[in-house]
Amino acid sequence: MSDNEQRIPLRSEIAEGDKWDLSKLFSDDESWNTALAEFEKKSEKIPSFQGTLGKSADHLADFLDFFKELNILEERLIYYAELRQHEDEGSDTARTMTGKITIVSAKARTASAWEAPEIIAIPQKDMETFLTHQRICDYKIYLQKIIRYKPYILSDKEERIIEMHSEAEGTLHNTFSVLTNVDFNFGTIDTPEGKRPLSQSTLSVFLENTDRDLRRRAYETFYACFDSHKHTIANLYSGSVKQDVINARIRGYSSARAASLYTDNVSEEVYDNLISTVNGKLGALHKYYSLRKRVLKLSELRHYDLHVPIVPTATKKTSWNEAVDLVCNALSPLGDEYCSTLKGGLLGRWADRYENKGKRSGAFSAGSFTADPYILMNYKDESIRDVFTLAHEGGHSMHSWYSAHNNPFMHYNYTIFEAEVASTFNEELLFRYLLKQYDNKEMRLYLVNKHADELLATLYRQTMFAEFEKTAHEFEANGVPLTVELLRSEYRKLLEKYFGSEMVLEEASDLEGLRIPHFYSAFYVYKYATGVSAAIALADRVVEGGKKEREDYFAFLKSGGSRFPIEALKVAGVDMSRPDPVNAACDVFGRLVEELSTLMEEI
C-alpha cells in the first residue's frame, strides 16, 4: 500500500481511550455469559406467579419486584451484546451473543405472555385500590399503560404465540444491516491524495468535496452497489412492511400506522398535519435548491451536489476534544450540572469515537438504567457536521442520564418522539453559539448554509420519508405487492415533488429509498421532523427566557416515561398536537434561505 493510500483501521488498531467502556454493563464476555445463565434460571420462575396477580396488592407487587429485576438484567445483557456487535458487525463472537440473548429474551417474553391479560382481567375496583398501595408506587404508570392496551390485548394463548414469533421479527432488519454494512464492498475512490475507501460512513465526506467529478464518481460507485442488490433489498423491505401490517391486524388496530402511534398516544392527525404543513411550505425548499444551483454555478443541479458547502473555504478541522469544548460551551444556558456531566462523559469513555472496519455506520446513543448513556460515532475531524452529530447524540445521552436519575426503572424510558427533541435542541444551541463566534461573513454563510442543510434534512427530508412509509404501508394493506419497481416509482415521485424543477435526478436517485435503515422501524422517522420543530420552539423559550423556562425544560428531561410525549412537551412549553410548531420551523428555514441569498450578494 502506498503512503498516499488510506484504509479503514481494524478494531484492534483503535486506541482504548477512543472506545466506549462497557464495564459498567459487564467486565468482559465471560461475565456476560455468566449473567445470561443467571437470567435463564431466573426466567424459569415466571410461571410460578401466574394466577396470583389479582389476589392482592402484595401479590401483584411481588411479581413486579421480581419482573423489574429480571428486566434490568435483561437490559444489561441486550445492551452489552448489541454494542459489542455494533463495534464490528462482522464479529461472529458478538453476533453469537446477540443471537443468544434474542433467543433467551424471546423465551422469557413467551413465558410471561400471560402478564398483560392477567393484569387487565383484574376488576377495575380492585385495581384502583392496588394502585394506592405503597408497594405499587413505582409501578403505577407501568400498570396504567398496560391497562390502556385493553382493547388490543389478546388471550393468554394468543399472546404466547405472538411472543414465540418475536424471535424472528428482527431478522429482516438484521439481514439488511449485515448486507449493507458488512457484505457490501464499495471499494475505493481515486483522489488527488491517493485511493480513499468508500463506505456508508465516508460517503458524506466525498459528497462534501468541492471536486464535482469526485462527488459524481463516489455517488455512482456507491449506488451501483445498491443497484446490483436492489431486488434483495426491496424484498427485505417488503417483508418488513408486510410484518407491520399483519401484526396490526392481529391485534385489531385500524392500520400499522395507528398501531405504531398508539404506543405514544399520538393522534394520526399529528402525522397527517406534519405532512400537509410541510407540503404547503415547499416553496422555500425549492428556492433553496435554486439558490444552491446558482451559487455553485451549475447548469444542472444533481443529486451529488446537495452536500458540498456553498463556501468550501470556510470548512475547518475540529479534533474530538475541540468538538467537546465547542458543544459544552454552546450548551452553557443549561447550567453547570448538564455541561460538566456531558463533558466528563465525552472526554471519558461514553463514546466509541472513530470508524473501524465492520463498525456500524452513522451514530446513535444507547442509554440504559444501570450504565453510561453510550454514544456510537464515526467521527471525522474534517467534517463539521460531525460536531453537530456529537451535540445531537449528547442530547440523547443527557436525556437518558436525567431520566435514569429521576425515575424508577419501570417507567424511566422516554419515547423516541421526545428523544428527538432533546437531541435537536442541542444542535440548535450549537448553531446559535457558533454563529456568535464568527463575524467573518464567509464563516457565517457557511454556518447558515449548514444549519439550513440540517433543518432541510431533519424537517423536510424526514417528512418525505414519513410520506413514503405511509404510502408503502397503504399499498401493502390494500393487497398491492411492493415490488422494486413500485417502491422506486413511488420514491421518485416524492423526490420530484420535494426537490422541484431545479433538480435533475439520476437514474439511481430512487435507489435511495432502499438504503434507509430507519424504514425497518416503521413510522419512526416522522419524529425527527416533529422533534426539530419542538426543539426550535424550546430553544427560543430557554435562551430568551429565565429560570422558569429552563426549569420547565429540565422537567421535560427528567420526566422519562412518566408522561406521554405530547403531555411531556406541554410541560416544557410547546404543544405538538397543533401544527403551529411545524409551521414555525418551516418559517425558520425560509428565513435561513433568505439570509443565505442576502449574504451571497454581499460577498
Break the chain down into helix, strand, coil percent, rounded to 5: 70, 5, 30
3-state DSSP call for residue 565? helix
Distance between CA atoms of 202 and 197, rounded to whole angstroms? 7
Of 74, 89, 159, 393, which one is the catalytic site residue? Answer: 393
- Contact, 466 vs 525, CB < 8 A? yes
Distance between CA atoms of 442 and 425, rounded to whole angstroms? 25
* All three cell numbers of 262: 398508539
Q: What is the 3-state secondary structure (H, E, C) of 94-114?
A: HHHHHHHHHHHHHHHHHHCCC
3-state DSSP call for residue 581? helix
Grid look-up 423526490 returns 495
| Amino acid present at 266 | V
- Contact, 473 vs 223, CB < 8 A? no
- Please indicate whether residue 393 is annotated as part of the active site: yes
- Contact, 523 vs 576, CB < 8 A? no
Cα dihedral 42/48/53/58 (nearest 10):
-70
Grid look-up 444507547 returns 366
Distance between CA atoms of 125 and 564, rounded to whole angstroms? 24
Could you give phi then psi for residue 369, rounded to 5 degrees? -75, -35
What is the separation of C-alpha 172 from the centre of its chain, rounded to a whole number of angstroms? 18
Nearest CA-CA partner of 493 in 523, 514, 467: 467
Task: Provide the angle, in degrees to the nearest 10, between the axes of the packed helices 336-347 and 385-406.
Answer: 110
3-state DSSP call for residue 364? strand
| Amino acid present at 429 | L
**Strand boundaries in 455-582, DSSP class E:** 503-504
Distance between CA atoms of 488 and 472, rounded to whole angstroms? 11
- Order of strands, edge to edge, in the sheet holding 351-352? 351-352, 374-376, 364-366
Could you give phi then psi for residue 195, rounded to 5 degrees? -70, 135
Distance between CA atoms of 178 and 405, rounded to whole angstroms? 35
- Count H helices, E strands: the chain? 25, 7
- Contact, 118 vs 50, CB < 8 A? yes
Distance between CA atoms of 593 and 587, rounded to whole angstroms? 10
Q: Which residues are catalytic?
A: 393
